Amino acid sequence: MIPLSVRWPLGTMSFLLLASLLMLLSVSTPSWGQSSETTSPKAGDGTPFPWNKMRLPEHIIPVHYDLMIHANLTTLTFEGTTAIEITASQPTSAIILHSNHLQISKATLKKGAGERQSEEPLRVLEYPPHEQIALLAPEPLAVGFPYTVVIDYAGNLSETFHGFYKSTYRTKEGEVRTLASTQFEPIAARMAFPCFDEPAFKASFLIKIRREPRHLAISNMPLVKSVTIAEGLIEDHFDVTVKMSTYLVAFIISDFKSVSKMTKSGVKVSVYTVPDKINQADYALDAAVTLLEFYEDYFSIPYPLPKQDLAAIPDFQAGAMENWGLTTYRESSLLFDAEKSSASSKLGITMVVSHELAHQWFGNLVTMEWWNDLWLNEGFAKFMEFVSVSVTHPELKVEEHFFDKCFDAMEVDALNSSHPVSTPVENPAQIREMFDDVSYEKGACILNMLRDYLSADAFKSGIIQYLQKYSYKNTKNEDLWNSMASICPTDGTQSMDGFCSAGQHSSSSSHWRQEGVDVKTMMNTWTLQKGFPMITVTVRGRNVHMKQEHYQKGSGTIETGYLWHVPLTFITSKSNSVQRFLLKTKTDVLILPEEVEWIKFNVGMNGYYIVHYEDDGWDSLTGLLQGTHTAISSNDRASLINSAFQLVSIGKLPIEKALDLTLYLKHETEIMPMFQGMNELIPMYKLMEKREMNEVETQFKAFLIRLLRDHIDKQTWTDEGSVSERMLRSQLLLLACVRKYQPCVQRAEGYFREWKEANGNLRLPNDVTLAVFAVGAQTPEGWDFLYKKYQSSLSSTEKNQIEFALCTSQNEEKLQWLLDQSFKGDVIKTQEFPGILRTIGRNPVGYRLAWQFLQENWNKLVEKFDLGSPAIAFMVMGTTNQFSTRARLEEVKGFFSSLKENGSQLRCVQQTIETIEENIRWMDKNFDKIRLWLQNEKLELL
């Protein structure tokens, strides 16, 4: 699954799909108590319920499901029959499984196999707090004997974005059509059929769907046959699946159209979409074929199914979902309009498709045993996006967009409320909270660090071994490290690239090759501890002293007793060949062959740590950037910018020095450092905007435009250049126009006028459209015209650009209207609401409205988007985390503590409170210094 809380422009790095494609998961949540076990639960009818744990017992094993579903898209209801073949590993007369919001009419137990089955009724008890049912047999089940449980049930199509839910779309002619689709990860298969809904209960599935002749049904496997059951009713039979987890089952009943191609190995790949958008399916289809072929080759394991469908769903809260053989997507994550889609949209679609296809191996073939190790699915799929796309689509230069993911992860991982990559979870809200930057981005970044450490070949051998060994099984954290360790044995024998050798090398820089590589011990320090280390480097002649500490916002570094095994890399003014050193202790010293003018650690930003240079270390690096910044790579430049501002936060570096460092950006040309500079500087004035600090805020905005003016002025208003150049152009012009830089505003006004006069039919360069719309939305007529165009647009990119522009209005009434409309979901779909709320929460005129809306509609939001979901986290952070006054802090604390079990315990609440406290400290300490720095004469030279 991909949450894609892709951030919106301004104060953001790549605006990959423009929409904040969030993820919305799971069940309508009862109030999950803090304890998962009750002493003696009572079923709905008052009878004692025979099981008191949130997790299912392990002694009943499902082997196979026969599932028949009949949905009525007019009454929005469905009925079904599930026959589950089970075996018992110990005698029991209670079969416990999951069911949520389903009305069970009948349950029977068939004993034995073939013709000689006996059948007896089962008593059904329900325990809604745990979403469980108990089926009580008249006598205990015999161990190892085949049984089949048959359950007849009915339910309503869900009005949320998970389970078996309703989606609608409007045709070009204005007709509203209904379809039904599924989203089961993590715990919503139980909303569509009674099942053992935990990832370790893998089974095969035979699915039959009943539908009207005018509809089409698709599922994980190819269609085998269609049978007419009655007039106007057809039953589609799909082939039996491979052994898989319940959360990967999928089926869609719709009137979609499709386009198809075959891969070299004979897998049929198809893209399904609403008929009016089928002409936007070709790009994703070609990308999917290329990527599927890449993965088959890279993993040395053939894709095990005969087909792979990619379906664009009109209502979809996540970015995408990896259901085996039928991946589902938000329309903006799959459909590419050659006329109107932006460069960032092309990059985004390619990455999302590669993520979901990587899951066909990581996640589907080999699945984490329980949600505490979700990162084994998601960190890997996120990492493989970059491994695959850098080979299949080199022109997209994905390597330029990897490390901002690590910076994003560090942002939350530096808070006390962070969590280890692998962390215990039990109840639904906790499970949903795992779908966050730590599981995805940090997971990917530490895998990248491990690959850099072991070598690409050794790493690849390890993951192939892992996938082959655990195919169709479930794994824990240590299974991965054991597979890696067997590539690098600890007995000191030679391995690939000499990386695992025990031979002594003369240079201290080969420090980590001097002993056997203990991958498991090393990686446990990165997955079982939260946070990351700050390495302090002090150079004394040829001696380089290194010290590691746990970096944490607020307290700076704290003595948690955490130690990491840090694979340090460095280059110096005398040598640009990468030197390596494994730091396992709190302090260590390495000796250079000769004295150097500067030393730069964490080469290429491959390590998940930050570096502080004591004494004049920072001054020499700042001098290097201002003199010959190309002496180090663009990734190294971006990581220096990031580290400098991280160090300001804990008082290790004065704000003036960090700001001085950014002055070199006047001469920067690469996207990574440019975006990183904007990501550090823009949030500074965003804090001021919410504090009536007009004078300094205005000066700071003027400084930023002066710093970037040469870059802005030289942008052509076209779609020329590489993807990175185009994305940089889009962001620079948007920033310039929103900051009212007149040459930009006048040009955008001219374009908007022409576009409006042509009734929106003039083709604008895609890279400048965002800036043009943002300027156009500032007048009432322009805003109304954009909204009118929004209603008829078939392009996801264009709709997202218009949506963003509408949110930048300085008119409070229009902003309030937008919040109300997108929440209602008639014209602007509710899936867009989290992004709209957040963007208005970033608007100096709108942020009060957004915060108020969140408070007044909290219960409805939780009902629609689910407690613990990334969508809720995105909205909480988006409306509150730029506050920086004590009054606002008390307001936020007061509101969330009043929610009790309906939100006060959420991790995102702890994160936003910590962030506001950090903002207060930061402003108290740095605001006056910024004011004085802005008056410095060297800025006059900009």
Catalytic positions, written as ranges: 356
d(CA 546, CA 612): 10
Do the beta carbons of residue 210 and residue 229 sit within 8 Å?
Answer: yes
Cis peptide before 394 (omega within 30 of 0): no
Distance of CA 25 to the CA centre of its chain: 12
Task: Report how far apart, in Å, the C-alpha atoms of 73 and of each of 99, 520, 827 are.
Answer: 22, 52, 21
Do the beta carbons of residue 212 and residue 256 sit within 8 Å?
Answer: no
Q: Lay out the sheet containing 94-98: strands in order across.
A: 94-98, 132-136, 123-127
How do 233-238 and 223-230 pair as beta strands?
antiparallel
d(CA 479, CA 483): 6
Distance of CA 340 to the CA centre of its chain: 25
d(CA 580, CA 562): 22
d(CA 787, CA 778): 13
Concatenate the DSSP letters of all residues of 431-492 into one string: HHHTSSHIIIIIHHHHHHHHHHHH-HHHHHHHHHHHHHHTTTEEE-HHHHHHHHHTTS-TT-
d(CA 57, CA 51): 8
For residue 536, give the 3-state DSSP assignment: strand
The continuous run of DSSP H or E covering 802 comes out as: helix 796-807
d(CA 274, CA 280): 10
Concatenate the DSSP letters of all residues of 709-736 into one string: HHHHHT--SSS-S-HHHHHHHHHHHHHH
d(CA 50, CA 44): 13
The continuous run of DSSP H or E covering 706 comes out as: helix 694-713
Residue that is written with structure tokens 């003199």 in the block: 627
Cα torsion 408, 412, 414, 418 to 10°: value is -140
In sequence order, which residues have a C-beta less than 8 Å from that of residue 822 and are 6 or more positions away?
828, 829, 830, 832, 833, 836, 837
Do the beta carbons of residue 531 and residue 551 sit within 8 Å?
Answer: yes
- The amino acid sitting at 144 is G
Terminal Cα distance for the chain, rounded = 45
DSSP designation for 531: S
Task: Report how far apart, in Å, the C-alpha atoms of 375 and of each of 363, 368, 477, 506 are.
Answer: 10, 8, 9, 38
Task: Report how far apart, in Å, the C-alpha atoms of 242 and of each of 198, 360, 376, 910 are.
Answer: 17, 12, 21, 41
Helices (H), 317-470: 343-358, 375-392, 403-413, 428-433, 437, 443-454, 456-469
Do the beta carbons of residue 601 and residue 535 sit within 8 Å?
Answer: yes
Dihedral over Cα of 384, 390, 391, 392: its sign: positive
How do 147-156 and 103-111 pair as beta strands?
antiparallel
Concatenate the DSSP letters of all residues of 840-899 into one string: HHTSTTTHHHHHHHHHHTHHHHHHHH-TT-HHHHHHHHHHHTT--SHHHHHHHHHHHHHT
Distance of CA 611 to the CA centre of its chain: 27
